Structure 1
């Protein structure tokens, strides 16, 4: 029987079932993650294995800590956290000492980042309304750029989310507009997330419905905000450049696309929305993520807005969001 008797067959069959069962248990943690997360963890583990092989180190916890320590010299805390999560996914739980050392290494890196990181400037509703004014008798390109600004404010959209929007992602309900974000950071199931937008009747933002209807007639293709020249999808960096350009056209020179998202979050806080509501609408993945966007204001503490005497202690930065990529300059979209 080619290397075995008939009596071996049940044993082989049992071994095969055990192997298949064990294999399923091994891949289950990875397949339970969103596709993009699983891909990132797989790539990170491959990078770690390659580093250990190059340095002739065993694939064990001690070598992993050396790998993490070396990466901390040039990589940020988010990259280190991803390395740790990927390692934990591929191995059993870390020993308490290893877990503690890795966590402290990431915290130390995060503290250093907080000392130098500057938050982007906060856009205000008054500034958004100045941009909306440009839509009156505007050419198609300017109308598109105004609508990008308006929808980014009302739906707290990232530049990457704006670039992916298709007309099928916008659904008008009786009292609100549903904006379906195909790839959100808090969407581990990769099903997309929906943000609901209302425009108060008679307000400047109420003009959004009219702009959307008019723009849908003018726009080409399936994307809501296509390239003005060929109808192709705009990149996140192009969205960032468009936003910066339209702010500058109304005399505002220190705002970026990410300033819109941060400003909208703070506007919600000033209106009395809870942090959980802001987190849900802005599709933040963690409480810490949304907390970094918010600044202290009297309205959030139940005090009406008062006139400020003297210079504000909160000086805004001109730095944009690093996730949006470098702005594309001197290029028509």
Structure 2
């Protein structure tokens, strides 16, 4: 199931508010916000998220970031591809600020370019442990569970999303925002027409069809 933009915005807002109220958790929650926006807007597979190193992310002027995917399911030889992430999304998510904050914290913590971008803790330095790809789904579900306990108005209304839902959600959001199938295919690094299964309209988009009748 595709992760919807409104839920992503709600989750990011809750992470920021929780970090403000619990400074001891700030590094952990800022890391969560970072992998969520990279996974969603970059349409990354969980294996690609797990493989990222600090040196794979480059900051450009204006809050733009370039994420270098060195190896993926469709690139077993390691030719690599760059994924460009704008400073802000059309839905108002400040992607550049979220990524930049995490990068700054990692570097100030002594992380080398070869260090994992997302680590357990999070903590950097010799022996820092990268998240395994399975960890992203567990963490996403843990965050959604904690948010629902903190926000009773949404309790029991959020499905059990997996981290792959971010990739699907990014593709769906791009399609509903007017991106072409070819643009989505290129951005998400699909090599086949399998991308069509990822850009099905959301329930809200389907409901809007009635407004045209």
Interval of TM-score (by shorter of Structure 1 and Structure 2): 0.7 to 0.9
Matched, 1:126 2:6: yes
Cα separation, partners in 2 of 1:250 and 1:298, compared to 1, 3 Å = closer
Match of 2:187 in 1: 281
**Which of the numbers 204, 208, 212 marks the counterpart of 1:306?**
208
Match of 2:103 in 1: 216
Matched, 1:228 2:124: no
Cα separation, partners in 2 of 1:201 and 1:122, compared to 1, 3 Å = closer
TM-score with structure 2 length normalisation? 0.75
Could you tell me how far 1:213 is from its partner in structure 2? Answer: 2.6
In 1, the alpha carbon distance for the partners of 2:203 and 2:30 equals: 35
* CA RMSD of superposed structures (Å): 2.8
Matched, 1:200 2:78: no
TM-score with structure 1 length normalisation? 0.50
In 2, the alpha carbon distance for the partners of 1:285 and 1:278 equals: 11
Give secondary structure in 2 for the equivalent of 1:235.
coil
Matched, 1:151 2:12: no
Structure 2 unmatched ranges of 5 or more: 20-24, 149-157
In 2, the alpha carbon distance for the partners of 1:262 and 1:217 equals: 29
Match of 1:293 in 2: 198
In 2, the alpha carbon distance for the partners of 1:162 and 1:240 equals: 12
Could you tell me how far 1:204 is from its partner in structure 2? Answer: 4.0
Match of 2:61 in 1: 174
Is this contact kept in 2: 1:185–1:283, CA < 8 A? no
Give secondary structure in 2 for the equivalent of 1:306.
helix
